[in-house]
Structure 1
């Protein structure tokens, strides 16, 4: 499982970059003496100048591109580029009549490049719809075969709802949900040596909560979600000496936390942690045998840097380190939000 953890604080970091802006303004050393009226004009907030409450509300209502809230009828487009590497040694066995008939150690490495295009549209001021389309290129090298697969990934349709208005002293809560459509190449229909899977092979529904709070100049955030998947039926995949006919994936519980910190008007940093715990999948074979896989735990630590190149665009870079055997060894991500 590959986490896309870079956007967790992308919008938060982008907003935090604006916080030091007022403090960085300087007054010319040779300024002329000012009258009382001129002093009042200088101290008054100029039109378009952001105050702390406006920045706070903007930050609290823009967690990341997955949970961000935008105003009604507004459109936000985001591009993500992610590279992930997975390397492992896998022991392959096949049991027939209660005895081991095959024992082999495979050295496997996988390189994945994912181009993700997502669009958010404000249905209401507190309800945002989302469409995410990934394009995946994957290269795998193992003892049996190697090659490159280029294909569409799984399409995501989602919505976010902010039930309460954001306030300065209270955390902001966002309810999230999305439907995953199995548009990518299914891992349950791949023939050995014919390429790599680029999708999950099953549809799924995810529901969760996201919470964030500003402790100027730091933004704290966390999330919790649960994913339930539909079973994959009517399969006919050769698996050792047996034929796989049905797979029922177990549920997945995910959670994450982190913070973003504005170093200056144009630079911010983020650190985040995410973990997913997946129950075992139930397998059914053509000869009537049923089996269940072990539970998997995938977690990753991300460190990111955001650079503000314009008032509406912040480029975010992130490096992720896998913390468990079920995680990618390394991920490198770039995120560019384009707001309209």
Structure 2
């Protein structure tokens, strides 16, 4: 009869199992509650997203050409940009082969541009875009000073991704943009009547962009080419002559930069942009034709992105002009409106 001796053994094992947790706690093998709380505080929370998502949002803020949205989705973005241009220009005019006017003109211009942009996913790899800017501009020069408030040039664009985006290879996007001359044309302004808020001509831009995300860094670059339509049937007084036609030169632009995710909610960007424009051809009422010099505009941009929610990131940027043809300074903010 050995069964009675087995019962105390089973009872003893059960008692030891019940006492084991308290014994481990006293010996220190179970992590204390404070350590668990610290680990939970440092861990990424549900819905917080990852650095790759933040970097993609940062690229969108730098330039929409680096991102697409899904089919039938809508994204609305608001941008506000302030720019300052200060320069000294030498104004001359010729009549009968001799100089009739020569003076130094000090000019300063302050512009605030409010831009609303709407993106719509036509396909998973094709996104359409409409951009509507509202411009307020103040200029002070020897001839006049004042404020102009007007709609700027509307733009219709499309972005197409020919290859499926994958994490282990660069993303390629082809871009196109049609600019409509809806703003106040600089070729139709009478001296002292206000400032231009548009380019005065329609233009088409085609290009490509490449980006590669290597968490926590995103590298990006772009190349584009712009052709403008001529401004015809003009009658603008320009010194002693009357301007009747302008053919803007072609423009080549490129840019490059990187974004760095400091954390799950903070990112920084550094980028460089440059545009080289051929000289414009001018025609006057008396038959004279002239051509302006080539212009080069370069900007160095620095930005900071702050994620205030899993779907909303606010981006601030400061730009410094590097050439005489560039704005002296730009300050901007970008934020999505689909909270």
TM-score tier (shorter): 0.7 to 0.9
Q: Secondary structure at the match of 2:118?
A: strand
Which residue is equivalent to 1:128?
Answer: 127
Deviation at 1:150, TM superposition (A): 0.3
State the Cα RMSD in Å.
Answer: 2.4
Matched, 1:303 2:302: yes
Matched, 1:142 2:135: no
Shift in CA distance, 236/122, structure 1 to aligned 2, threshold 3 Å = same
Unmatched tracts of structure 2, length 5 or more:
1-31, 38-44
Aligned ranges 1:148-227 → 2 under 5 Å: 148-227=147-226
Deviation at 1:118, TM superposition (A): 0.3
Q: Distance in 2 between matches of 1:68 and 1:209?
A: 12
Deviations 1:117-163 (A, max 9, x none): 00000000000000000000000000111000000000000000000
Deviation at 1:339, TM superposition (A): 3.8
Aligned ranges 1:1-340 → 2 under 5 Å: 29=34, 64-339=63-338
Unmatched tracts of structure 1, length 5 or more:
1-26, 33-45
Larger radius of gyration: 2
Q: Distance in 2 between matches of 1:296 and 1:58?
A: 32
Deviation at 1:168, TM superposition (A): 2.2
Shift in CA distance, 28/134, structure 1 to aligned 2, threshold 3 Å = farther
Q: Secondary structure at the match of 2:257?
A: strand
Q: Secondary structure at the match of 1:314?
A: strand
CA contact (8 A) 1:81 1:335 kept: yes
Q: Distance in 2 between matches of 1:128 and 1:279?
A: 31
Deviations 1:79-115 (A, max 9, x none): 0000000000000000011110001110000000000
Q: Distance in 1 between matches of 2:243 and 2:328?
A: 29
How many pairs does the alignment contain?
301
Q: Secondary structure at the match of 1:72?
A: coil
Q: Distance in 2 between matches of 1:79 and 1:160?
A: 19
Deviation at 1:31, TM superposition (A): 5.2
Deviations 1:61-89 (A, max 9, x none): 96842442000000000000000000000
Larger helix fraction of residues: 2
Deviation at 1:170, TM superposition (A): 1.2
After superposing on structure 2, the runs of 4+ consecutive aligned residues of structure 1 that deviate more than 4 Å are 27-32, 46-52, 54-63
Which residue is equivalent to 1:39?
Answer: none
Shift in CA distance, 262/58, structure 1 to aligned 2, threshold 3 Å = closer
CA contact (8 A) 2:90 2:103 kept: yes
Question: If the length of structure 2 is used for normalisation, what is the TM-score?
Answer: 0.84
CA contact (8 A) 1:57 1:166 kept: no
Shift in CA distance, 73/111, structure 1 to aligned 2, threshold 3 Å = same
Shift in CA distance, 165/56, structure 1 to aligned 2, threshold 3 Å = farther
CA contact (8 A) 1:56 1:168 kept: no
CA contact (8 A) 1:86 1:110 kept: yes
Shift in CA distance, 81/31, structure 1 to aligned 2, threshold 3 Å = closer
CA contact (8 A) 1:81 1:116 kept: yes
